[in-house]
Amino acid sequence: MSEIKKINNFKELLLELLQNTVNIISKPKTNQILSNRTKTFIQEYHKLNNISISTTCSVKTDREYKTGKLILNNNKLVILQYQSNKKNQNYNLNTIIQMVDTLNPIFFIDFNMATSELVIHKTKQKFRLVILGKNMKNHDFDNNDDYIYKYRIVKFKMPYESSEVFKLICENINKSIILSDGYKHNIFGINIRNHFCNEYFIDYKKFESIGNTGDILLFKGYSNESKFQRFITDNGYDHVGLFIKNKNGLHLYEATGKEGVKLRPWNEFITYYWYLLYDKMAHRKLNVDENAMKLFISENEEEENINGKNIFKNLKDKFYYYFNKKTEDFLDKTKDKKYHFSKKGYFCISKMKKSIIRESYSCSELIGAYYYYLGIVTDEMEAYNYLPGHFSRTGIINFKKGYSLGQEYIIDFSSS
């Protein structure tokens, strides 16, 4: 059965269900009939809900249309474009731009995080998304001002292949919107700013549920000092911190010029609105494959048994037990150290020294030292050679086999 035919059958089934419900109320076995109809409806609903679409589409995010690959899945719409990050050949070992070709998002939206509406052009193969949002930057908590609510219109157009294909795409996008939380509730779910649509974003509650020890948090500040640092390092971020998840909750471990090296409770960012100090914050997950987990366990394993029974449920639990234990050792040895940025480290590349427990750290040096202490990066680069940009998606980190940083997701706090 073709996808178009599935949708038509679904529509007919839904229409029949709605029209006939009133007529069968007074008939015998009403509950059974309704139950059977509902069961059939749910089955067809789930069949359609599992449809994943991939096609070519153009999107107008700035002043011109850009063409990429449209993927619709799990109430998320993304358009990826093949982009080259390669620059000229005049670069040195401290270059933080990765010399690869990648598929980057030129548009991304999660319909569960924002209230959206689809508007279809009647004659041309074009459609628009109207997306509700709010401007976090202009919110004044001291004066109890309301958010400045906005909406963003994003334009799309399809190649002139087939009107049936265009209709199929639009119907499925509309279905994804209708099935999403953004349709069920009025959610001003995104901080609408310039270029919001060419970034992956994640709700802060979702981030809190998936974040784990070893993950990276990147910061883009508003201050002139932050802007100058980004200009000098040619990167979009000027600060980096380490995410910690332990028995005491969620924390951020960072080195700052004012306080030095501190372990900060994550909930302070929500309670005191500290996230408003930044234009954006991004999360990158530390990915570890099974072989790397097994090797790490074998290098750090101790005899852990209670009444002769193994206390670990699975490999992942066992890995993070020893991973967190070694992390706590590093925190105990580095907490409350002073802040210091090494100018030498910015200009001179050298191998990692044996001792990485020092009297002072910069924000990125602290992360480099931590990864080296855990044994998950090589010694090809000194800890003070790392800059915040090394930990972004365009940066290079010399991880050992089995370790990597995941996609860069902007953390969205607008639902807080």
Mean pLDDT computed over 86-95: 44
Q: Residue 53 pairs with which residues in a beta bridge?
A: 72
Q: What is the pLDDT of residue 153?
A: 81
Q: Is pLDDT of 216 > 90?
A: yes
Where do we find the tokens 């105990």?
A: 332
> pLDDT per residue over 299-315, tens digit each?
988 755 544 456 777 89
The 10 Å CB-count burial string (b at 16+, else e) for 267-294 is eebeeeeebeebbbbbbbbbebeeebbe
Q: Measured in whole angstroms, how far is the alpha carbon of residue 140 from the centre of its chain?
A: 27
- Tokens 């309670």 — which residue? 271
84 burial type by CB count under 10 A (0-12 exposed, 13-18 middle, 19+ buried): exposed
Q: Quick one: pLDDT band at residue 204, thresholds 50, 70, 90? A: confident
Q: Where does 10-144 show beta strands of DSSP type E?
A: 53-60, 65-73, 76-84, 101-110, 116-120, 126-135
At 285, the pLDDT band (50, 70, 90 cuts) reads very high
Query: Residue 95: its pLDDT value, please?
Result: 44
Predicted TM-score (pTM) of this structure: 0.68
Q: Could you tell me which residues come within 8 angstroms of residue 276 by beta carbon, excluding any fewer than 6 positions away?
A: 136, 137, 139, 141
Q: Report whether pLDDT(41) > 60.
A: no
Q: In the predicted model, what is the mean pLDDT of residues 393-405?
A: 90
Tell me what pLDDT residue 22 has: 45
Under 8 Å between Cβ of 402 and 291? yes
Strand order across the beta sheet in which 260-265 lies: 200-203, 409-412, 278-284, 216-221, 239-246, 249-256, 260-265
Residue 267 token pair: 């909930």
Supply the pLDDT for residue 102. Answer: 59
Q: What is the pLDDT of residue 135?
A: 55
Token duo for residue 366: 């602290």
End-to-end CA distance of the chain: 44
To the nearest 10 degrees (0 to 180), the angle between helices 315-334 and 290-300 is 60
- How many angstroms separate the Cα of 372 from the Cα of each of 98, 158, 356, 377? 21, 49, 8, 5
Distance of CA 200 to the CA centre of its chain: 5
* Per-residue model confidence (pLDDT) at position 391: 92
Q: What is the mean pLDDT of residues 4-33?
A: 51
How many secondary structure helices (H) and strands (E) does the chain include?
A: 11, 20
Short-list 185, 209, 72, CA closest to 129: 72
pLDDT band at 335 (very low <50, low <70, confident <90, very high): very high
Burial classification of residue 60, based on how many CB atoms lie within 10 Å of its CB (0-12 exposed, 13-18 middle, 19 or more buried): middle
> What is the pLDDT, as a whole number, of residue 172?
85
Closest Cα to residue 380, out of 371, 389, 393? 371
Lowest mean pLDDT among 108-112, 161-165, 237-241, 399-403: 161-165
- Answer whether residue 154 shows pLDDT above 50: yes
> pLDDT band at residue 367, thresholds of 50, 70 and 90?
very high
Q: How far apart are CA 42 and CA 216, in angstroms?
A: 40
**Minimum mean pLDDT among 154-168, 184-198, 202-216, 363-377: which range?**
184-198
Lowest mean pLDDT, pick from 65-69, 73-77, 164-168, 191-195? 191-195
Q: What's the average model confidence in pLDDT over 257-277?
A: 87
Separation CA 160–CA 124 (nearest Å): 9
Q: What pLDDT does 8 receive?
A: 55
Continuous H helices in 272-342 = 290-300, 315-334
